[in-house]
Structure 1
Amino acid sequence: MDATVQPFVPPAPAPRTSPPGWLEVIRIIYRNPIELWGEPSYTKPWISAAFFNERMVLANDPDFIRHILVDNARNYKMARVRQLVLRPILRDGLLTAEGEVWKRSRKAVAPVFTPRHAQGFADIMLQRSQQFCDRFDGDGSVHEIAHAMTDLTYEILSATLFSDQISTPEGDFGYRVERLLETMGRVDPLDLLKAPEWIPRLTRLRGRKVLAFFRQIVSDTMHARMELMQRDPDNAPQDFLTLLLQQHKPDGLTLGEIEDNIITFIGAGHETTARALGWTLYCLAKAPHERDLVEAEVDRVVAEEPNPVHWLEKMPYTRAAFEEAMRLYPPAPSINRAAIEEDRFRDAVIEPGTTVLVMPWILHRHRMLWDHPDAFMPSRFLPENRDSIGRFQYLPFGVGPRICIGATFALQEAVIALGVLMSRYRFDCTPKTNPWPVQKLTVQPEGGLPMRVTLRSAKPEIAA
């Protein structure tokens, strides 16, 4: 970066300088958990604390993180509060299942997400991104980009994994996803107080209708495909949906587990990429110098390289901007585990039942690990600089046995989408573009991302 250009520092909660009272803790965790953390969280290799008599360790040291999530992963299960939030939505989907159920699901879906298989989706990703761009008139009108990216990634997911045979939802899909996360994707105060699970959580009662909407989509989609597989098996698409349904056998997946995995990929599989795309466009709009570099790269590659499979490799600055946005606004800001047996790391003692937090939100902004940690600086992710970033200090997709299975898919999708969007349009902020990061499973831009979309004068054509 030009030394005369000051990097953009995007909005984020300042570390607390004094601990909140317990009533304030409940309010913060319900409203926005990333506002809870104090200055030591961003400067110490680990800290120990207690919330409502619940022992907690926050791990920031990369070696400590490796110990928890890789070397001794068998000693850690999903934390109770995390499961209370996610299981009502995803049940036994890949993100929430444990033990043998998780192993069966992981084995069932793994073939679809190998790097080679993911590359086979590149042309569809390109086509859907181009078609989506046609919805913008490019006259400088303002669009809600957070919702737009949700719709785009949903349509890419529908085309690539479900052959466009997901039962079409009525109404604004992006709004419904936001509503689901607003109502179902938060920690309820009763969870913190360890109330019995049979006591209704009022926050989640409000989300039952929208959850039922998504469940109905999945049920209709499954039954339509099963009917096609029985009636005309030769013409049934050989996609993710068919692959899952073929696993319905005594030693495979139950229909309930198949439904849970479909809702996981429809709900969580595209939402994380959508959020990261929105934050990327926002950060680039607020950092014109960086945007110029991305636009120049995009123009060159789009004009010269017709095969989108190669875009991920040939657009290193575009990828770096996306990865830097995921550093600052990690789609999954929290990884929660609970110790099964006593464990030790150096002088840290982790007693059975202790909740161990690995917080990408904090880890990615930790003063011990990053230069200018709060600044948007894509150059740190360029190939020549990547060796300085440790494997366990940057975790947008997690790490270890439960690493996100769709990481390659998501990176390829993001670079192709950015290549198409930014080759055709320029995205600018408006006076009303004042997002505030809020944790609701993913890191959401509270206030949305209203952005002005203008047709670029030097619009490159896709190479023939």
Structure 2
Amino acid sequence: MDMRPEPFEPPAPIPRTVPPSRFQVIRTVMRNPLELWGEPSYTLPWIDTKFINQRTLIVNDPNLIRYILVENAANYEMSRVRRLILRPILRDGLLTAEGEVWKRSRKAMAPVFTPRHARGFAKQMLAKTEEYALRYDEAAAAGSVVNIANDMTELTYEILSETLFSGQIAAETEGFTNSVERLLHRMGRVDPMDLMLAPSWVPRLTRIGGTRLMAEFQAIVAKTMDERRALIRSDPEAAPQDFLTLLLQLERPEGLSTDEIADNILTFIGAGHETTARALAWTLYCVANSPHIRENMEAEIDRVLSSGAEPVDWLDLMPHVRASFEEAMRLYPPAPSINRAAIKADSWMSPEGERVDIPKGISVLVMPWTLHRHALYWEKPRAFMPERFLPENRDKLHRFQYLPFGAGPRICIGATFALQEAVIALGVLMKRFRFDMTPETKPWPVQRLTTQPRGGLPMRVSAR
């Protein structure tokens, strides 16, 4: 007899059973795109539909996803709607660049994010997390409530600042992380003009106020670059050999332009830590509602840390911690949608012989949000069940049914960095503290570039 408790089902929109009107589509996409999707998006392998006068193919079949994102990736560019939303923020950063600009940037940055190089950041990640954990001592003694969503944003920003920029970003942590929050809230929303595919010069009323925030970020980036350039000129030996120095060394006509370097720095310091922060907060929330899972994680953390294992090895030595983080990313994927458009007409044949025609210009949506909760590919898809990602179960998953970091040539360059960072952060925090629910802990997932908890994540912290 199975005595395990029923798994926790964290909050998420219930799939629609009635198609929305055009007005409802616009209103919902502006408010929270996660609430738009209907039952077919969670039950069918693909759907050919129309979305605001734009023919759209919603893709959930893992084999078709592999074809679009890997096998014939050259035929699929970032969709126009996605460009209209992201380019005002990130311009020619790695997430939004196309063609030769993207290829140059990706090639330039790849050495920093190889698994071997990422592992070299482990001790810095550990030191910054231990330093951050000291802030909880007083709160834990008093049983105070903290906003985990904000705290994880601060923590991951401090880790990113220390590892990639040697702590030399020209901004204060607290004010800067608040600015990131406001920028993504203001600039990361879908505007009706985006849905109508209006040119970028047409004003977006929902983003009023975002221009000033962007100017603040650009000033921080410019100052950061100037300070490091000055250090490189005055004392090359003293300049850290980090991500920032690497980019500035590529500042030449045949490498990256000054603007491209600035865009990539903005991408990393403005959004590079955001995805990991959200996933960490959702993980702590889910395990707080799953006591037996939390106990397994704590036992594993205690065992590994008491053994004196180096932090570089924690990712391999803590399968339950890693699995819980990965399951939180399944339920709340940091990047809930991947938007492409077909450059040329295309077609694909399923293993069962079903043909999918993909006309030129069609919008192609690969949505981790629906894919990760899809009835065809997951048992109890709405439940928090980390055991799916334990080593003995991983082979049961199709490589393209789980896409927290995307796939293909544009897969997230920092995936190994993020996984290592998350396991180290959870190991340090959960060794010393417990984070529990309060009556005010009622998060609701909202898409603002990342999957964020509306109203934050207030949780009570106590010492273990």
Per the shorter chain, which TM-score range? over 0.9
Q: Name 1:199's counterpart in structure 2.
A: 202
Please show how residues 142-291 of structure 1 align to structure 2 within 5 Å.
142-169=145-172, 171-291=174-294
CA drift at 1:31 = 0.7
Per-residue CA shift, 1:83-132, capped at 9, x if unaligned?
11110000000000000000000011100001111111000000000000
- One-letter amino acid matched to 1:22: R
What secondary structure, in the 3-state scheme, does the structure 1 residue paired with 2:440 have? coil
How much has 1:171 moved relative to structure 2? 4.8
1:37 aligns with 2:45: no
| CA distance, structure 1, for counterparts of residue 212 and residue 145 of structure 2 | 30
**Which residue identity lines up with residue 377 of structure 1 in the other structure?**
M
> Contact conserved, 2:80 with 2:197, CA < 8 A, in 1?
no
Letter in 1 for 2:285: Y
Residue 414 of structure 2 is aligned to residue 414 of structure 1: no
CA offset digits 1:394-429 (Å, max 9, x no partner): 000000000000000000000000000000000001
Out of 377, 396, 405, the position equivalent to 1:369 is 377
Aligned residues: CA RMSD = 1.1
CA drift of 1:2 comes to: 5.7
3-state SS, counterpart of residue 374 of structure 2 = coil
Give the match's secondary structure for 1:15: coil
Q: What amino acid does structure 2 have at the position aligned with 1:29?
A: V
Alignment CA distance shift 1:2-1:92 (3 Å): farther
Q: 2:320 aligns with which of 287, 293, 317?
A: 317
Q: In structure 2, what is the Cα distance between the partners aligned to 1:256 and 1:196?
A: 22
State yes or no: 1:333 paired with 2:336: yes
Q: What SS is found at the alignment partner of 2:144?
A: strand
**Does the residue aligned with 1:352 lie in a helix, a strand or coil?**
coil
1:368-401 per-position Cα deviation (integer Å, ceiling 9, x unaligned):
0000100000011000000001100000000000
Cα 1:360–1:14 change in 2 (3 A) is: same
Secondary structure in structure 1 of the residue aligned to 2:373: coil
Question: Gaps spanning 5+ residues in structure 1: where?
Answer: 457-464
| Residue 172 of structure 1, CA deviation | 3.3
- Deviations along 1:308-340, whole A, 9 cap, x unmatched? 001000000000000000000000000000001
Provide structure 2 residue ranges, at least 5 long, that are not aligned to the other structure. 350-354
* 1:112 lines up with 2:112 in the alignment: yes
One-letter amino acid matched to 2:444: W
Tell me the SS of whatever aligns to 2:413.
Answer: coil
CA contact (8 A) 1:430 1:451 kept: yes
Other-structure match for 1:129: 129
Counterpart secondary structure, 1:383: coil
Which residue in 2 is equivalent to 1:460? none
- The 8 Å contact of residues 348 and 356 in structure 2, kept in 1 or not, is answered as yes
Q: Is residue 79 from structure 1 mapped to residue 89 from structure 2 by the alignment?
A: no
Moved more, 147-156 or 192-201: 192-201
SS in 1 for 2:282: helix
CA deviation after TM superposition for structure 1 residue 176, in Å: 1.8
* Paired residue total: 456
Q: Confirm or deny: 8 A CA contact 1:90 1:264 kept in the other structure.
A: yes
Percent of aligned pairs sharing the same letter: 66
| CA distance in 1 between partners of 2:176 and 2:6 (Å) | 38
One-letter code aligned to 1:330: P
Q: TM-score, normalised by structure 1?
A: 0.97
Supply the distance in 2 between the matched residues of 1:339 and 1:16 (Cα, whole angstroms).
28
In the aligned structure 2, how far is the partner of 1:448 from the partner of 1:240? 31
Tell me which residue corresponds to 1:307: 310
Q: Hey, what's the Cα distance between the residues in 1 that align with 2:121 and 2:332?
A: 26
Q: 1:430 aligns with which of 410, 414, 438?
A: 438
CA contact (8 A) 1:148 1:174 kept: no
Contact 1:281/1:427, CA 8 A, preserved across alignment: yes
Name the aligned partner's letter for residue 145 of structure 2. Answer: V
Q: Distance in 1 between matches of 2:22 and 2:310?
A: 56
- CA distance in 2: counterparts of 1:381 and 1:170, whole angstroms: 34
Question: Which residue pairs with 1:47 in the alignment?
Answer: 47
Alpha-carbon deviation of 1:9? 0.3
Match of 1:459 in 2: none
- Residue 170 of structure 1 deviates from its aligned partner by 6.8
Partner Cα separation in structure 1 for residue 308 and residue 378 of structure 2: 34
- Choose the corresponding residue for 2:454, options 430, 433, 446: 446
Q: Deviations over 1:166-208 (max 9, x none)?
A: 0123753332222111110011001112223211111222212
Alignment of 1:353-368 (within 5 A): 353-368=361-376
CA shift in 2, pair 1:338/1:90, >3 Å:
same
State how far apart, in whole Å, the 2-side matches of 1:30 and 1:432 are: 26
Whole-angstrom distance in 1 between the partners of 2:144 and 2:207: 36
